[in-house]
Structure 1
Amino acid sequence: MNRDLLIITSYFPPEIGAASNRIFHLANGLEKSGFNVSVLTPLPNYPTGQIFDDYKGRFKDTSKVGEITVHRLWIYASNSKNKLIRLVAMLSYSFSLIWFFMWHKIPKTVIVQSPPLLVAFTSMCFLRRKTRKLILNVSDLWPIAGLELGALKKGFSYKLLETIERFNYKKAQLILGQSEEILAHVKSICPNKATFLYRNYPDFSPPKIEAVKPSAPLKIVYAGLLGIAQGIFKLCTALDYSNIEFHIYGSGSEQEQIERFITEHPKLPIFFHGRVTRHELHKVLTGYDVAIIPLLNRIYGSVPSKIFEYARLGMPMLYFGGGEGEYIIETNRLGWIAKAGDYTDLNSVISKIALVDISEVKKAQIQQTALENFDFERQLKAFKTLI
């Protein structure tokens, strides 16, 4: 008999991005493994901060994505930089969750995505039962990450978020972390807590490596969120364009700045392609030489899921973010490392990338490493033994 399982998340397709993809793969993998999976998520609004056209005017929506039942709840959607408005948006989804909990039977196994901390807190607080297993999936360490990004400052609100974070960890029966740093942080707070390293491995058929002869200029591509953490605008201003092209895919808060910079510097070889679907992105990425993965500042606990996705595509990577991601790139020989925050070193590393390093052979080696070491099915099988 199949077991019922609920996943509570703030991001889910048709929204794009790493968080949405990660939860979809988890839900889909568990459903294929014999669980009756349902998902609780807001009406889609990320990253635009506006409810998508197909869902406007609705208070809730229930539909099927394959065999997964998806309940989409009302949210006051916003991507405002105003902290009060962002708080209202998170609280609105929390109130919708409470309403749903009151009127629906909740399965005995629940996976809760964190951050946002308030959404996780609402779930942990209202779903506590001796007979229910609460699993917390921690993809970033808040409020630490907020402090390192400059979005938060130490004070009363920071202390409050730390208290909420600790509550969430203590009430979970099992904690999933996307990095060793996350699990080490959890253990420092809850030494006896059951934890599991759950990397953001992708689940798609690896493409055949095509023989594409590289030629100057070197074609570097970035694809993803154009937010503060990624620092793509700063990257545009700091790159040495003497022998490169820089191609950008995505959307986010820095998009207007980036487009304005490109308009004001028409002679620079920067090309903004906008937002495309993940399927389309996989097709176009392999036409470039190197994928860059930047972080404006090193964020403790963060391991960009792009590492595993690009490796499966056979894409050589240039990592510019420090931390555990740097270690993964180096030990698995997936590409190059530039010192986090050091744009002089970044340009120096780029200047030394040889054509032989982005050959068909090199790409095939990267893809083989991904198939051997970043296996979604093997990881999921190990996780299922714990639930």
Structure 2
Amino acid sequence: MRFLFLTQYFPPEIGAAQVRLASVIRELVRLGHQVEVVTALPNYPTGQIFEGYRGRRWLEEDWEGVRVVRTWLYPAMGTGPKRLLNYFSFMVSALGGLLRVQKPDYIFVESPPLFLSLTAYLASRRFGVPFIFNVADLWPDSVRQLGLMKEGLLLRLAEGLEGWSYRQAHFVTAVTEGIQKVLLEEKKVPAHKLLYLPNGVDTELLKPTAPDLALARELGLEGKKVVLYAGNHGYAHGLEVALQAAQLLSDPQVVLVLIGDGSEKPRLKQMAQEMGLSNVRFLEPKPPEHITRLYSLAVAGLSTLRDSPLFEMTRPVKIFAGMSCARPILYTGSGEGARLIESAQAGLVSPPEDAQALARNIMRLIENPALAEKLGQNGRRYVEAHLSWSSLIQNWLTQLQAGQPKSEKIPV
């Protein structure tokens, strides 16, 4: 079977969507399916076109044996008119990329951005094939609840486009149980259209390893007790709580290491400097294999979210990386992610934006290595049993197959 992936985000960019899509495509290829990708010139999360791609309107490249067609977009980060132009520019330029690919059997479009459903619809009509709308975030619900877009015409237009997208898509894939429930009960997406493909983890790449002493020396972390946050530094993550908790820690050997990038990173670095935090380190983004090395030095992984009803249906990808590396997770948030950590007995959960509770949980793991070890092993067993990409993709293909007439069934 031939799949065409339409996504604004893709490696060599580093982020949750990029890691997820790369893993899905690798597994489809491993199963014998053919894949092509139409994506943008890499610019996330810095808002600048990566070196080696600048000055190009489009290009083709090989990514792990997969043909990738990249098209220009207006690079931007954060929110506001420039970010909307970023989305719209790729929505239009991707049409040119679609002229350079072979006819697929299915078009898989990643949302957000929501606007790509328009491009996917036109491609679906051109090729005469179904398109699958993958909902990783309920936009525009998220921008409304986070206060990133005011009520008005633009928001109403976005809601209209959202409903149209669900109606036009042949299938709608949800990445969490909460999103699936909202799509069914509130957005009125017919049950026969809904597919479920949760975030998974590469358990071979992200795995327990012996402490990387060379990396510890390189980063000045010898003898330190590392709490690792590996992921995007965005507004939704509310990383202020981590800095506030770091200020409350009683053990001077505990160091909070934050690796990644995002719109909030400059402000967070300034905040840490103003707070005089000597136990916080900011590192530049690195590929997943480097994250495994960092987790070998960590006592625990950290995941934070702001206090918003929006995150009741969120399962951050970063928690699976820590679990896969057999490290307990310090989760500051509520909802589906918190319930997963608790049901897997893979970490300690504290309320969103509660720095004192987070600091207490950090010290609880620091002072009780046996508990940290037990929770970490529980997490590793859980991802091996439930979240390996191999089993998730097989299950998703079975769902897709069940929704098709017999003549269109996909061999798995």
- Verify: 1:341 aligned to 2:369, yes or no: no
Specify whether residues 344 and 24 from structure 1 end up closer, same or farther in structure 2 by C-alpha distance, changes over 3 A only: same
Equivalent position to 2:54, from 49, 53, 56: 56
Q: Which runs of 5+ in 2 are unaligned?
A: 213-221, 402-412
Secondary structure of the 2:103 match is: coil
**Residue deviations 1:18-46, cap 9 Å, x none?**
11010111111111111110001000000
- Report if aligned partners of 1:251, 1:275 keep a CA contact under 8 Å in 2: yes
- Corresponding residue for residue 149 of structure 1: 146
Distance of 2:34 and 2:211 partners within structure 1: 43
- Verify: 1:306 aligned to 2:318, yes or no: yes
Deviates more, 1:51-60 or 1:105-114: 105-114
Secondary structure of the 1:296 match is: coil
Distance of 2:126 and 2:96 partners within structure 1: 18
- Corresponding residue for residue 65 of structure 1: 63
Equivalent position to 1:226, from 230, 233, 238: 233
- Corresponding residue for residue 302 of structure 2: 292
Correspondence 1:111-122 to 2 at 5 A: 111-122=108-119
Deviation at 1:365, TM superposition (A): 3.1
Distance of 1:211 and 1:287 partners within structure 2: 5
1:38 alignment partner AA:
E
**Residue deviations 1:292-323, cap 9 Å, x none?**
10012333432101122221111100111211
- Corresponding residue for residue 192 of structure 1: 191
Secondary structure of the 2:201 match is: coil
- Corresponding residue for residue 95 of structure 1: 92
- Corresponding residue for residue 40 of structure 1: 38
- Verify: 1:364 aligned to 2:371, yes or no: no
Deviates more, 1:341-350 or 1:62-71: 341-350
Deviates more, 1:373-382 or 1:20-29: 373-382
Distance of 1:185 and 1:160 partners within structure 2: 20
Secondary structure of the 1:53 match is: coil
- Corresponding residue for residue 395 of structure 2: 382
Secondary structure of the 2:32 match is: coil
- Verify: 1:207 aligned to 2:207, yes or no: yes
- Verify: 1:158 aligned to 2:155, yes or no: yes
- Corresponding residue for residue 127 of structure 1: 124
- Report if aligned partners of 1:311, 1:334 keep a CA contact under 8 Å in 2: yes
Distance of 2:126 and 2:315 partners within structure 1: 32
1:55 alignment partner AA:
Y
Deviates more, 1:117-126 or 1:280-289: 117-126
- Verify: 1:255 aligned to 2:262, yes or no: no
Specify whether residues 59 and 341 from structure 1 end up closer, same or farther in structure 2 by C-alpha distance, changes over 3 A only: same
Deviates more, 1:159-168 or 1:300-309: 300-309
Secondary structure of the 1:297 match is: coil
- Report if aligned partners of 1:179, 1:302 keep a CA contact under 8 Å in 2: yes
- Corresponding residue for residue 331 of structure 1: 343
Distance of 1:306 and 1:331 partners within structure 2: 17
- Report if aligned partners of 2:245, 2:358 keep a CA contact under 8 Å in 1: no
**Residue deviations 1:326-352, cap 9 Å, x none?**
110111111011012333333333343
Specify whether residues 108 and 366 from structure 1 end up closer, same or farther in structure 2 by C-alpha distance, changes over 3 A only: closer
Specify whether residues 130 and 211 from structure 1 end up closer, same or farther in structure 2 by C-alpha distance, changes over 3 A only: closer
Distance of 1:336 and 1:113 partners within structure 2: 32
**Residue deviations 1:158-217, cap 9 Å, x none?**
2211111111111112221111111111112223342222111022415345489xx997
Secondary structure of the 1:135 match is: strand
- Report if aligned partners of 2:7, 2:39 keep a CA contact under 8 Å in 1: yes
- Verify: 1:271 aligned to 2:271, yes or no: no
Specify whether residues 141 and 293 from structure 1 end up closer, same or farther in structure 2 by C-alpha distance, changes over 3 A only: same
Secondary structure of the 1:314 match is: coil
Equivalent position to 2:22, from 21, 24, 42: 24
**Residue deviations 1:58-81, cap 9 Å, x none?**
111111112211111111111153
Deviation at 1:358, TM superposition (A): 4.9
Deviation at 1:54, TM superposition (A): 0.8
Distance of 1:198 and 1:62 partners within structure 2: 28
Distance of 1:218 and 1:162 partners within structure 2: 46
Distance of 2:75 and 2:211 partners within structure 1: 45
- Corresponding residue for residue 81 of structure 2: 84
Normalised TM-score (structure 1) = 0.91
Distance of 2:362 and 2:291 partners within structure 1: 23
Distance of 1:339 and 1:245 partners within structure 2: 21
**Residue deviations 1:214-271, cap 9 Å, x none?**
x997532211111111122453135412234211111122222222233344453112
Secondary structure of the 2:362 match is: helix
2:388 alignment partner AA:
D
Secondary structure of the 1:76 match is: coil
Specify whether residues 111 and 195 from structure 1 end up closer, same or farther in structure 2 by C-alpha distance, changes over 3 A only: same
What is the total number of aligned residue pairs between the two structures? 382
Q: Alignment identity in percent?
A: 27
- Report if aligned partners of 2:211, 2:297 keep a CA contact under 8 Å in 1: no
RMSD: 2.3
Secondary structure of the 1:290 match is: strand
